[in-house]
């Protein structure tokens, strides 16, 4: 996909996840909207994966350490063909595989996640295994910014450079909000980029809702031989919905009927704008 197609796909995924959350009457809306562009870039442009063979040894690995924002991932895996799209209607229902966190009973999920602070350590192990087995696959780990308060994140952050894991990419969904408010009020993180750099990572700071910037950053990995990469993806919580953006209450707010209708109307208007831009370029 080109950048225009990726941006279009990300909007469609946002529409799908909002419908899914509304139908289930539960979900983490704000963080899923902020990370949609990141995961879209990975699954539709960057990662080497095969939905027909999800256990392919040479596949790139994706670990959603911020597992509570799984809704965008479920919609993307379904759209890619890892499981039937109709199954999205069972999200968070009794007996479903599509629970509120990644579940490795679902094809395309590497591990159960959601207990924050665990994903990067597992990713370090996967990247180290690739190095020792002579495999070329890469490991991408998506973390939340509130998650940076977990001590286990920093233990893993030390291990990545120690083992020279340039096949490892950490991504922080830096939307600056968590369930109880601003990350800087709950547990100050800054200077976050400098901290990761001091731990030996090659840090790239980008607009995490800019598809072109995401593709360029991910496509450059490994950027520095012998160093893992940390993508500081500066995002907007609730991205794409005017009345949800930068609102802490939308961390796990479920849109009501009127809010869903308004949100879908805004996203539809964004799709139309992209269509016009495409026609002008054409």
Query: What is the spatial distance between Cα 75 and Cα 78, in angstroms, rounded to a whole number?
Result: 5
Residues in the chain, overall count: 282
Q: Which fold has domain 3-281?
A: Rossmann fold (3.40.50)
pLDDT of 281 > 70? The answer is no
Q: What is the pLDDT of residue 222?
A: 86
pLDDT surpassing 80 at residue 186: yes
Q: What is the SS3 assignment for 231-257?
A: EEEECCCCCCCCCCCCCHHHHCCCCCH
**Banded model confidence at residue 59, pLDDT cuts 50, 70, 90:** very high
**Residue 282 pLDDT class (50, 70, 90 cuts):** low
Q: What percent of the chain has pLDDT over 90?
A: 94
Rounded-to-integer distance, Cα 4 and Cα 175, Å: 23
Q: How confident is the model at residue 278 (pLDDT cuts 50, 70, 90)?
A: confident
85 vs 277, higher pLDDT: 85
Residue 106, pLDDT above cutoff 70 = yes
The whole-number pLDDT of residue 277 equals: 86
Question: Mind listing the pLDDT tens digit for each residue in 113-156?
Answer: 988 999 999 999 999 999 999 999 999 999 999 999 999 999 99
Domain boundaries along the sequence of the chain: 3-281
């Amino acid at each position: 996909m080109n950048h225009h197609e990726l941006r279009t796909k990300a909007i469609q995924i946002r529409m799908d996840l909002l419908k899914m959350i509304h139908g289930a009457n539960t979900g983490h809306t704000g963080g899923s909207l902020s990370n949609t562009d990141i995961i879209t870039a990975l699954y539709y442009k960057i990662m080497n994966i095969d939905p027909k063979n999800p256990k392919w040894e040479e596949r790139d690995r994706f670990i959603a350490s911020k597992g509570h924002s799984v809704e965008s991932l479920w919609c993307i895996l379904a759209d890619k063909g890892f499981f039937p799209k109709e199954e999205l209607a069972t999200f968070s229902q009794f007996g479903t595989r599509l629970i509120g966190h990644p579940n490795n009973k679902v094809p395309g999920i590497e591990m159960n996640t959601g207990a924050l602070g665990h994903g990067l350590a597992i990713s370090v192990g996967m990247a180290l295994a690739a190095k020792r087995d002579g495999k070329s696959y890469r490991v991408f780990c998506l973390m939340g910014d509130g998650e940076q308060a977990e001590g286990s994140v920093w233990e893993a952050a030390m291990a990545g450079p120690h083992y020279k894991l340039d096949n490892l990419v950490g991504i922080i969904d830096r939307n600056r909000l968590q369930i109880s408010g601003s990350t800087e009020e709950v547990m100050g993180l800054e200077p976050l980029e400098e901290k990761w750099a001091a731990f030996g990572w090659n840090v790239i700071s980008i607009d995490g809702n800019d598809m072109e910037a995401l593709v360029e950053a991910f496509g450059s990995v490994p950027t520095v031989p012998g160093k893992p990469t940390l993508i500081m993806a500066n995002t907007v919580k609730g991205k794409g919905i005017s009345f949800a953006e930068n609102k802490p209450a939308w961390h796990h707010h479920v849109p009501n009927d009127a809010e869903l209708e308004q949100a879908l109307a805004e996203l539809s208007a964004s799709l139309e704008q992209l269509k016009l831009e495409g026609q002008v370029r054409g």
